Each structure stands twice: as C-alpha cells, then as structure tokens.
Amino acid sequence: MRESQSLAAEPHGPPVAEEFEREPVPPRALKGAKSFWGMYAGEHAAGTEFMIGPLFLLAGVSLYDIVLGLLLGNFLAVLSWRYLCAPIAVHARLTLYYQLEKIAGTGLVKIYNLANGILFCFLAGAMITVSATAVGVPFGLPMPSFDAIYPESVAFVVAVLVVGAVIAVVAGFGYDTVSRFANVAVPWMVLVFFACGVVALKELGVDSWAGLVAVWTESIDFAQGNGGGVQTMGFWSVVLFAWFCNSAMHLGMSDLSIFRYAKKASYGWATAGGMYVGHYMAWIAAAFMLAAQIKVAQSAVPLPGPMAYHVTGVAGIICVIIAGWTTANPTIYRAGLAFQGIFPRSSRLSMTLLAGAVATAAAVFPALAFKLLGFVGLYGTILAPVGGIIFADWYLARAAGVEQFPAARTGEKYNLAVLFAWLLPVGVALWLITMHGVTTWYFPLPAWIACAALYLLFRKWTAPAAARP
C-alpha cells in the first residue's frame, strides 16, 4: 500500500518507489527512527480529521468519553502497530503484497488489490469533499446539509469535480512534487490544527472544565435537535473507533510495507506521533470548532471549510485545502497502484486517473464524508482480517501443522483457505452491519481473529499432503 523509497520524503504515505518490491529490504536501505516519527505525524494530519472530531459531537459523545476514550483507543492502536505489525515487518522485510502473495497466491492478491483500490477511492473521495467545502467558502457556494445523501447544488458538484480533477491529474503527473510539498506543509498544518482548537475554545467562552462540559452538552443537545440524529457513542465505542479506524494499517499489516525499512521493531512506537497529533489533538480541536460554530452561528453542519474559516480565517481554509489535497493525493496514487496490480499491462497514469475519477464521483455525494465514521470502520472490517492470515502464517502455522508461505511453495494462484477464511468473517460482519445496523468499528478485531483461526483450520484440511511441513 505504501511502498517507500524514502520514508522521510513522503509523510503522507509513500507509494512512489517500487524498490525492493519482491525482495527483503537490505540493511543499507534501513531508516532511522526520526523518519518514522515524522512520517506518521504528517500522515495523520489529514483533511478528514476535520470531519471526524465533529462527527463525535454529533454522535452525542460526552467530553469525558472523547478525552479518555481517544487516549486509550489511540494507545491500543499504537500497541497494535508496535507488537503485531512492526515485529513481522523487521524480520520479513517484505511488502504486504509480496508477503500476502507468498501465502495467498498471485490471483488472490489481485482480489485483495481490487478491494483495497476501491476502498482507497472512497477514502480519497471523502478527502475531496472536505477540500471542496473549503474551496467553496470564498466563492460563497451553497454547502450540503448534514442529512444530504445526494448532491444538493450544481455549484458544489462543480467545486467537487474541479478539486477532484486537479488532485487526480496532479497525482498522475506530479505525485512526488505534492508529497514533498506535503512534507513542507506538515509542521505548519499541525500548528494550524492546534490553533483551530485554541481559538474555538475561546469562542466557547468557558473558563473551567465544568463550564466546558456544560457547553459541550448544550452543543450536543442543539445538534441532535437539528438533524444531527440521536445516535450515541459511549466510551468503549470511542475506544474501539480510535483503535480500529486505521486497523487496515496495523491489524491488517498494510504497514509492513513501511516498517520493513525500520532498524528495530521498537520504531513501532513512532505511530504515537500520528495518533496523538492527528487522532487526538486534531480530532478534539475539530470537535471544539463545531461546538464553537453551534454557539456562535447556531449551525451544526460539520463542514470543515466554513468551520476552519470561522476560527482561523483564510489560514484555516488553506489548511483544510492542503490537508485534504496532500492526503487525497497519495490515496489516489495508491488506489492507482492497486488497480495497476490487477491490470499489469495498463499504465500507472491511466490507472491513477481512473482511481481519481472514481474518487471524484464518490466525492459528489456528501453522505460519504458525513458518514465517515461508519466508512472507516467498514474499511477496517474488510481489509484488516487479511492481516490475521499473515499473523497466523508467521507465528502459528508451524505449531498448527500448516506450512508457511504455502503459495510460494506450491505455486497455487488461489489459496482457497485464505479466500474462505477472509470471506466468511467479513461476510458475516457485512450481513450484521447492513441487515442489523451493527456499528462497523466493532468488527475488525473479531473478524481478524476469526480469519486467522479459520485460515489455519481450512489450510490444515485442504493442503495437499506434499505441501505439509
């Protein structure tokens, strides 16, 4: 997902180089800890952070639950990177794709690529929507309402199409330039996120924790009485969301591609930079922005552009645009790479533009951004379980009497044990989500465990005798 030539160069996800794609990273290419701290802090200062914090408020999360739930959930995410993903990465030093190919077979990796590419497109779509809300502020464009599923104004659609086209074309032609620009922007961007929170706090007009809790509760009451819905998220729901919103990266082992460059597994702690800057400070700051908007403008619509403009002026608009752009750029690029993995004869440019077109089409629908919490949970539910197979293959296979890297040994293109071990838990999860309305971020861990166990079971049953260890 994020094959890197230079970790330090590409904080927002480094998929540029196809270096060491099919071989372990050699010692001379390893990176120091500083590269990882910088990369993760930058990568998680994304445009979508401006959406997630306000969505907590709209979901009725209490201030205590946000402050403590995010503290714990982000810590669990860091532990997952540190103790599940990084140790395998620094021993195998392979990309996720190659390691999975050795287990699942070349054909099955293409199916994973397809799922990955499509989900990346939707994620990038949300980022484009976020940027479009900022572009719309100076032009006075009508913004979508919170309960909007379909686009509500031609002008906003045009803004989305223009922003999406620019991002897609730049991702196709100038990915490296944008990723360097992102590196330049990150220190400033993180401070503007912080500034948004401080200014919003002042706007709330409170001088004590009790006062803040009272204003926060009033904001929830206002929001839920004005189309914000009545859904509530409690402490554990916040914990699980924070833990699993990037589960495709840690439980799902996508960041094997990153940590294969680490000298030591302890570099996994560097993910704390991303979690506590982007998924703690930025989410809380963004939530305060919505509370301030509710208090001052009596509006509970969580549009990042107008919210940031309200507290930090033009600098805030620039921040939302850059945060959305610099994270949508590598996301579209990665989606293009994933599609190219399915159609190897196609050019990278054409696949990147295709991914950009899909992302832009998705961005036209504001519901994608407004339902971001559910979407990132779904993203983890579908992709994270694959990491369970990698974990089982790495740590448990021999003890369970199953050969390690079976597809690499037998040459099979579709390891059916992998396919069914992945599809069954994900299928059950999707059924519970769609038919019974169960919250999406409850599923990545159970599906991951089930996937790992089922894989060992199925493989033990189906492996040819010659392939057994």
Partner 1 sequence: MKTLLKILSALALAIVLVAPFLYLAGALSMAPLQAWLLGATIVWFVCAPPWLWKGNS
Q: Can you give the binding site for partner 1, defined by CB under 8 A?
A: 6, 8-9, 180-181, 183-185, 187-188, 191-192, 194-195, 198-199, 201-202, 312-316, 318
For the bound state, the minimum distance from the C-beta of residue 398 to partner 1, rounded and expressed in Å, comes to 43
For the bound state, the minimum distance from the C-beta of residue 216 to partner 1, rounded and expressed in Å, comes to 17
Closer of 155 and 315 to partner 1 (Cβ): 315
For the bound state, the minimum distance from the C-beta of residue 60 to partner 1, rounded and expressed in Å, comes to 27
Q: Which residues pair with 262 in a beta bridge?
A: 31
For the bound state, the minimum distance from the C-beta of residue 195 to partner 1, rounded and expressed in Å, comes to 4
Closer of 37 and 97 to partner 1 (Cβ): 37
CA distance 7 to 14: 7
- Look-up: residue for tokens 């989900």? 119
SS3 343: coil
Closer of 307 and 445 to partner 1 (Cβ): 307
Nearest Cα to Cα of residue 229 among 85, 54, 105: 54
Closer of 9 and 357 to partner 1 (Cβ): 9
Is 27 exposed, middle or buried, given 0-12, 13-18 or 19+ CB atoms closer than 10 A? exposed
SS3 61: coil
> What is the DSSP track for 2-41?
---S-GGG-TT------TTTTSPPPGGG-B-HHHHHHHHH
For the bound state, the minimum distance from the C-beta of residue 133 to partner 1, rounded and expressed in Å, comes to 18
Supply angle C-alpha 353, 359, 361, rounded to 5: 105
For the bound state, the minimum distance from the C-beta of residue 313 to partner 1, rounded and expressed in Å, comes to 3
Q: Which residues pair with 31 in a beta bridge?
A: 262
CA distance 214 to 333: 44
For the bound state, the minimum distance from the C-beta of residue 164 to partner 1, rounded and expressed in Å, comes to 23
CA distance 450 to 455: 8
Closer of 188 and 405 to partner 1 (Cβ): 188
Tokens of 94: 């392979």
For the bound state, the minimum distance from the C-beta of residue 125 to partner 1, rounded and expressed in Å, comes to 27
Taken as a whole, the chain contains a residue count of 469
Furthest-apart CA pair in the chain: how many Å? 72
Count CB atoms within 10 A of the CB of residue 105.
23
Closer of 188 and 222 to partner 1 (Cβ): 188
Closer of 17 and 158 to partner 1 (Cβ): 17
Kindly give the interhelix angle for 304-342 and 154-204, rounded to the nearest 10 degrees: 130
Strand residue runs (E) in 289-355: none
For the bound state, the minimum distance from the C-beta of residue 312 to partner 1, rounded and expressed in Å, comes to 5
For the bound state, the minimum distance from the C-beta of residue 194 to partner 1, rounded and expressed in Å, comes to 7
Name the amino acid, one letter, at 401: G
Closer of 187 and 227 to partner 1 (Cβ): 187
Name the amino acid, one letter, at 432: L
CA distance 111 to 413: 11
**Buried residues in 274-285 as b, exposed as e (16+ CB within 10 A):** bbbbbbbbbbbb
